[in-house]
């Protein structure tokens, strides 16, 4: 169900509040009402900014209705695939209680932007913060939540960016050309090791589709395995039984859910260079 | 128990044969006797060469007494740590029988130079050879066996090299200096993943002792994990929760048991280059 | 002055010959006439292929009218900027005469695809060939000449590719981002060193326009100088007076005039990696 | 002419002063006398430290006798090869006068540690300093001067390090081995471009002797040219006329005259990595 920005701009104040209250459950109606006064909005992004200003101005009310991050939020965000373990869920519950006790605030986190380990690491870091930083962090997370909901629900110009992208490229500097036909696999390394996608490089050494796209990247740790062995086998003397490079693992962290991570591999049978590119 | 090259050169023929027969069980006395005629030997290496010429000249007799590689050879070679699995032992037994059936020859392999997976890969490759290549390979392996025994048992100049070496070096090109204090672990990746050694780089970015030395390297697959996360943590903005590089795995094959493998890592928080150096 | 492929397909045979004879001076009319019989052509590329088949079938006549490469061809191809030196012109004249004497053939070379040094290197290589290879090479060069003329003169689908591209990209793996604002200069290294273009990387670490495009790349040697000093100055302690890297020269050869050369630089203040990418 | 540390420790005070005054012309006798009281010195380095403490304690007297850096100092330091140009000499004279005018201090610089361009750059930087920093810099340079003279003149344990070293290493990651037989040339890039040494890599990819050693490295800019073309020629298809990499220039700065600069090149026919190693 979505609504257009034009309709929101044209609606009477009560209708504006009702429309958005349905979409943005965690925001109190008073804050939405405050934003209504600033219409018309030229873009969805300026609507988002007005809502966030209103939320910041009425922070106590906002924090009164915002729920804590829960294990089921994390489970929903991962589409059931790599949700929190029972141990992680217990750690989360304890940490959330500590957060309430210490700051009198909910522990707000936009669940689609983190895998469980990354979410718990944020919670640990938050608990070491001072109260002002904790409140600022909670508002920032509310900002992420609202941005995603607006991007999903309101049609109009200036949609905020909420999706990230992970791409790769394999270059063969033994032969001086893109490395085509290299099988590769992306794993998410959370509690365990989960295959996310398996594909093969095309003739430009890239993959036909990004490894991840169309959604926020979940902050966490990942690994790509590149099968260089078959690609380089005939460039190495036959007498070599154990190739120096066979399957090359590249383990890396993602920290910007809306970012573009280009992870490149430049390889020979005896060396490789990998880096976060652009 | 060892003997000097001088003593072997000075011994009468029968004593020469007896001394070496005790050391070199797999070689028929006739071959040792043939080598005796070529004394004196200026070096242990020339003694080895003479024995191998004699063995090649009387190959049928040599192959008559040479035993097949057995699972217990592989187990002994690994000091019990990462010997063959029951499945590998069964595969070996079947392959050895096939080798006998196909070539009428024992499957000779110098066990200390291979981990079980590498030994089985050699056997598979051998079974695809033609008879002449199979015989040449068996003699070459006998050469490795004798070289190790002579190096261990005969004191004298010109000892043949039988030991390999694995070393590493971590360079920090973010700061322009060796990376000191980086924890690293070497694993052997055979049937499973076995920690071989754990250490930390010194102020020159190297390890105080080679990762492997003083013995032939066992051909097979290995991995070094380098903990770059703690080393680079304070070079990356604090707001970055998930570092791009944390633990960097470098997976590689060893194929020359007597070789020097220098595996170098040149790193920044956002990239690394690794290669087989020298 | 150009003509459409449709018009050429529809023209009567004599008009077809006349139209193309005007465009393709080096080709005898008989060869054009032979190609006319194969109309209609679905693409400019198939027209090119038909003309080349006709030329190959009547090679003696073709070689009878083809002129030798001359110093003024090289001068014209370079737009006057970096034409041959008097010494190169003399070497060319001597080599062309030797080519005629040795093979009874003109020395054919598509001048826009080579700088003078590269053209002379081709001539030297040609003189070491056997007659069959020399004739094949002359036909191949005619193919390049005709392809360029057709691409410039005939409007229609399936235009053959005659232009190359040189691009660059500077990545900062000290900071983990594209290197923006790096001044760089491209030089052609022929007889002397000629500045071709000077520009600065944009926020993606690339240049707004390719360094070379819209024409065949002239085979030869080139250099890009990247001014990394100002970019990295504040990442290195102030006490360092002479930066390790200041202006980084990357010297490389171009050999495929129609190719895409992507020359990338991945740098820190203490290291860099460069490669031909894609 | 040299003296032993033992003799200096044993000498009476006047003889100590006389001996060192001859060696250390720029130091006032009073400072030497003050150091004499702290004998015996366990090492030449502790003697140096004592002299520097005495100099710092009596800075006005020291600066009263210390000469300004002169063009002939730079010329002597370069063994006549790459001394300052007339223009550089004039710039130096003007700068020295400005330094006297601004700080009332000589412009002290240990000439063997800088090429003329680097010396002038130091002077420019010095002129932008505040008086306290200028005085500290002058004392630090006096420390370099004395250290070199003591190292050259006093025999004894604990000699201070005054020499630097520049070495290189070429690795071939196309073939997985050291690059042997690569011709290379080191140039000093001062006012002009002067060949310092030309050599060829040995079978370990290194040079038999360091490129520079046995003296302080003169801070300044340098370039090594590596002739990779002949080395890789037969790894690239014969049809390639202009190799991508032919002569590879590596341009770098030296800033630590007593340092070890290891400049490594890791190359394939299509890429290379270079870095300051260790």
What is the phi-psi region of residue C220: left when phi exceeds 0, alpha when psi lies from -120 to 50, beta otherwise?
Answer: left
Q: What is the Cα–Cα distance from D123 to B180, expressed in whole angstroms? A: 35
pLDDT (tens digit per residue) in B233-257 = 999 998 899 999 999 999 999 999 9
% of residues, chain B, pLDDT over 70: 99
CATH top class, domain C3-155: mainly alpha
Q: What is the Cα–Cα distance from C116 to B172, expressed in whole angstroms? A: 44
The rounded mean pLDDT for chain B is: 94
**Which of D241, D250, D263 is best to mutate for the C interface (most C CBs within 10 A)?**
D241
Residues 6 or more apart whose CB falls under 8 angstroms from that of D189 comprise D220, D221, D222, D223, D251
Q: What is the mean pLDDT of residues D22-47?
A: 91
Q: A121: which chain B residues are within 8 Å (Cβ-Cβ)?
A: 241-242
Cβ–Cβ < 8 Å for A122, A109 = yes
Nearest-10 crossing angle of helices C131-153, C86-103: 120
% of residues, chain A, pLDDT over 70: 99
Q: What is the Cα–Cα distance from D218 to A4, expressed in whole angstroms? A: 70
The count of C-alpha atoms lying within 13 angstroms of the C-alpha of C19, restricted to the half-sphere facing its C-beta, is 21
Q: What is the pLDDT along chain C (278 residues), one digit of tens a residue?
A: 589 999 999 999 999 999 998 888 778 899 999 999 999 999 999 999 999 999 999 999 999 989 999 999 999 888 666 789 999 999 999 999 999 999 999 999 999 999 999 999 999 999 999 999 999 999 999 999 999 999 999 999 998 899 999 999 999 999 999 999 999 999 999 878 999 999 999 999 999 999 999 999 999 999 999 999 999 999 999 889 999 999 999 999 999 999 999 999 999 999 999 999 98
Structure confidence at residue B120 (pLDDT):
96
Tell me whether the omega of the peptide bond preceding residue C166 falls within 30 degrees of 0, making it cis: no
Contacting C with CB below 8 Å, chain A residues are: 171, 173, 176-178, 204-205, 266, 273, 275-278
**Residue A40: phi, psi to the nearest 5?**
-80, 155
The token duo for C139 is 């036909």
**Residue C126: phi, psi to the nearest 5?**
-60, -40
What is the phi-psi region of residue C79: left when phi exceeds 0, alpha when psi lies from -120 to 50, beta otherwise?
Answer: left
User: Cβ–Cβ of C247/D252 closer than 8 Å?
Assistant: no
Q: What is the Cα–Cα distance from B116 to B194, expressed in whole angstroms? A: 13
The token duo for A21 is 């209250």
Contacting B with CB below 8 Å, chain C residues are: 173-176, 236, 244, 266, 268-271, 273
- Identify the closest residue of chain A to B123 by CA–CA distance: A241
Q: What is the mean pLDDT of residues A108-122?
A: 95
Nearest-CB residue to A242 (from B221, B240, B273): B221
Q: Which of D104 and B25 is assigned the larger pLDDT?
A: D104
Cβ–Cβ < 8 Å for C206, C172 = no
The interface predicted TM-score of the complex, written ipTM, equals 0.91
What is the phi-psi region of residue B217: left when phi exceeds 0, alpha when psi lies from -120 to 50, beta otherwise?
Answer: beta
Cβ–Cβ < 8 Å for C85, C191 = yes
% of residues, chain D, pLDDT over 90: 87
Per DSSP, chain D holds a count of helices (H) and strands (E) of 10, 11
D80 pLDDT higher than 70? no
* CA-based nearest residue to D51, from D70, D32, D26: D32
What residue spans in chain C does CATH classification 1.10.3330.10 cover? 3-155
Cβ–Cβ < 8 Å for A243, A148 = no
The rounded mean pLDDT for chain D is: 94
Chains sharing 3 or more CB pairs under 8 A with chain D: A, B, C
Q: B266: which chain D residues are within 8 Å (Cβ-Cβ)?
A: 273, 275
Q: A246: which chain B residues are within 8 Å (Cβ-Cβ)?
A: 221, 251, 253
**Residue B79: phi, psi to the nearest 5?**
55, 30
User: Cβ–Cβ of B268/C174 closer than 8 Å?
Assistant: yes
Q: What is the Cα–Cα distance from D89 to B144, expressed in whole angstroms? A: 68
Structure confidence at residue C15 (pLDDT):
93
Chains sharing 3 or more CB pairs under 8 A with chain C: A, B, D
Structure confidence at residue B95 (pLDDT):
96
The residue behind tokens 């090109």 is B173
Where are the extended beta strands (E) located within chain D? 3-4, 154-155, 164-172, 177-178, 183-189, 194-200, 212-215, 220-227, 247-254, 260-268, 271-277
Q: What is the Cα–Cα distance from B227 to A229, expressed in whole angstroms? A: 25
What residue spans in chain A does CATH classification 2.60.40.180 cover? 164-277
**Which of A170, A263, A267, A278 is best to mutate for the C interface (most C CBs within 10 A)?**
A278
Q: How confident is the model at residue A80 (pLDDT cuts 50, 70, 90)?
A: low
A82 pLDDT higher than 90? no
Residues 6 or more apart whose CB falls under 8 angstroms from that of B203 comprise B178, B180
Residues 6 or more apart whose CB falls under 8 angstroms from that of D229 comprise D243, D245, D246, D247
Sign of dihedral through CA atoms A138, A144, A147, A149?
Answer: negative
Q: What is the Cα–Cα distance from C52 to C140, expressed in whole angstroms? A: 9
Q: What is the Cα–Cα distance from D275 to D261, expressed in whole angstroms? A: 10
User: Cβ–Cβ of C270/D276 closer than 8 Å?
Assistant: yes
Homologous superfamily of A164-277 in CATH?
Transthyretin/hydroxyisourate hydrolase domain (2.60.40.180)
Q: What is the mean pLDDT of each run of 10 residues along chain B (278 residues)?
A: 89 93 85 93 96 93 92 85 88 96 96 94 94 95 95 92 96 96 95 91 97 95 98 92 96 96 97 94
CA C91 to centroid of chain Cα atoms: 22
């Amino acid at each position: 169900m979505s609504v257009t920005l034009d309709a929101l701009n044209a609606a009477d104040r009560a209708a504006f509040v009702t429309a958005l209250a349905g979409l943005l459950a965690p925001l109190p109606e008073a804050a939405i009402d405050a934003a209504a006064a600033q219409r018309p909005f030229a873009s969805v992004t300026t609507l988002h900014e007005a809502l966030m200003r209103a939320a910041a101005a009425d922070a106590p009310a906002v924090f009164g209705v915002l729920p804590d991050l829960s294990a089921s939020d994390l489970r929903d965000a991962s589409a059931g695939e790599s949700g929190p373990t029972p141990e992680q869920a217990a750690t989360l519950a304890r940490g959330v209680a500590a957060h309430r006790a210490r700051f009198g605030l909910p522990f707000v986190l936009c669940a689609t932007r983190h895998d469980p380990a990354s979410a718990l690491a944020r919670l640990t870091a938050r608990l070491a913060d001072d109260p002002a930083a904790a409140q600022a962090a909670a508002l920032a997370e509310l900002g992420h939540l609202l941005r995603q909901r607006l991007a999903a629900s309101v049609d109009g110009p200036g949609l905020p960016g909420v999706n990230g992208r992970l791409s790769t490229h394999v270059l063969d500097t033994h032969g001086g050309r893109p490395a085509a036909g290299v099988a590769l696999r992306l794993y998410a390394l959370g509690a365990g090791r989960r295959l996310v996608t398996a594909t093969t490089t095309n003739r430009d050494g890239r993959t036909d589709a990004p490894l991840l796209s169309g959604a926020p990247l979940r902050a966490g740790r990942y690994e790509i395995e590149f099968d260089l062995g078959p690609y380089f086998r005939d460039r190495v003397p036959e007498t070599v039984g154990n190739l120096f490079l066979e399957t090359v693992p590249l383990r890396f962290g993602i920290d910007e859910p809306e970012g573009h991570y280009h992870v490149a591999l430049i390889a020979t049978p005896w060396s490789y260079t990998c880096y976060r590119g652009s």
